[in-house]
Amino acid sequence: MKNILITGGAGFIGSHVVRHFVHKYPDYKIVNLDALTYAGNLENLTDLESANNYTLVKVDINDEAAVNAVFDKYDITDVIHLAAESHVDRSITDPLIFLRTNILGTANLLNAAKGKWSDFDKHIFYHVSTDEVYGSLGDTGLFEETTPYDPRSPYSASKASSDHLVRAYHHTYGMQIKITNCSNNYGPYQFPEKLIPLIINNIVLEKKLPVYGDGSNVRDWLYVQDHVEAIDLVFHKGTNGETYNIGGNNEKQNLELVHLLCDTVDAQLGRPTGDAKSRIEFVTDRPGHDKRYAIDASKIKAELGWEPLTDVATGLGKTVEWYLANGEWLNRVTSGDYKKYYEVHYG
């Protein structure tokens, strides 16, 4: 019997992971622990409200007593940890909350698990992490699992620290752990502070499309469901103590990606080609902007047979379709605090 604690399950990737596990594994009890910050949204999970193997608890991972109580009450057997402050730009303006949640919050969860679990062989602590821990690539090369850590933003430094803590609990206490470091995800329910949903929303509203610097930075894009399938595989079949890189093999310069989005949204809205592109604006670059991320995912492919199934054209098409069909969701998440964030960040 597994009672799996999924943290951050009301966020973008977390909501897809929770939905996948609740539906695919009816014998598992899924407890979604989420503080419901600006990035957590119960609307991402309305379809699960009646599922009888699903529970949501509104708890901050920094709250030691509350986290311990959840472990006890639900007899938690495993953890899939996604809760985090996740947006690089916010980490530049307000680093401390990233350190509190991503480092101390992770330590708090690890400690709760250590206190609760008596036989580590029977339990898994899985940390969902990022490729940004490896730093920034030049024009060539790929991040491998052995690439030395070189985080360069407060966000990536906090995620690197949390990875190290997870490994420390493995080496020091013998906890069974798994870590995955994944590239940029996109898909439904992503908060519109991230590039893809922000650009879609701005195209719909006929606003300027902000591209940092000259738009030549490169990211490797992965459709969120492909990430979810990888998490499922690593959780069930990955080797104890190991790290797996996950990537889409879909490198795009930011400007090229924004062009693709412009064409896709214009086409789906029936607007003339070139309409959205005319609103692209090059804006001040992100401080310390990592140039290029690219993943060597050969380990997870060879050991676990994982392959990304969705190419960028298909994934972007589905994503744009979802945002256009869910205008109410988009309106609600961009009212209130989002307006202040947008003003401060984009002027």
Tell me which of ligand DAU, ligand NAD, none is bound by residue 61, counting a contact when its beta carbon lies within the kind-specific cut-off of 5 to 8 angstroms.
ligand NAD
Cβ atoms within 10 Å of 241's Cβ, excluding its own: 15
From the list 34, 78, 131, 226, which residue makes contact with ligand DAU (rule: CB under 6 A)? 131
- Nearest approach in angstroms of CB 8 to ligand DAU is 11
The number of residues that bind ligand NAD (CB under 6 A) is: 31
In angstroms, what is the minimal distance from the CB of 150 to ligand NAD?
A: 17
- Residue 206: CB atoms within 10 A of its CB come to 10
Among 56, 175, 198, 276, binds ligand DAU (CB under 6 A): 198
* 101 is an interface residue for ligand NAD by CB under 6 A: yes
Q: What does 8 interact with, of ligand NAD, ligand DAU, none (CB < 5 to 8 A by kind)?
A: ligand NAD
Closer of 116 and 289 to ligand DAU (Cβ): 289
Q: Among 347, 342, 214, which Cα is nearest to 282's? A: 214
- Could you say which of ligand DAU, ligand NAD, none residue 212 binds, taking C-beta under 5 to 8 angstroms by partner kind? ligand DAU
- Tokens found for residue 258: 């924004």
Active site residue 251: no
DSSP type of residue 113: H
Report how far apart, in Å, the C-alpha atoms of 302 and of each of 62, 74, 180, 234, 320 are. 37, 36, 15, 12, 32
Amino acid at 295: I
Whether 131 is a known active-site residue: answer yes
3-state DSSP call for residue 117?
coil
- Of the candidate spans 22-30, 35-43, 69-77, 115-123, the one that interacts with ligand NAD by CB under 6 A turns out to be 35-43
SS3 for 266-324, per residue? HHHHCCCCCCCHHHEEEECCCCCCCCECCECCHHHHHHHCCCCCCCHHHHHHHHHHHHH
Closest residue by beta carbon to ligand NAD: 11
Rounded Cα distance, 218 and 131, in Å: 13
- Give the strand order in the sheet containing 184-186: 184-186, 218-223, 251-253
Nearer to ligand DAU, 48 or 187 (CB): 187
Q: How many other β-carbons are positioned within 10 Å of the β-carbon of residue 50? A: 7
The least CB distance from residue 40 to ligand NAD, in Å, is 2
Catalytic residue among 132, 193, 232, 290: 132
Residues that bind ligand NAD (CB under 6 A): 7-8, 10-14, 34-37, 39-40, 60-62, 82-86, 101, 105, 128-130, 159, 182, 184-185, 191
Can you give the binding site for ligand DAU, defined by CB under 6 A? Answer: 86-88, 130-132, 183-184, 194-195, 198, 210-212, 217, 219, 254, 286, 293
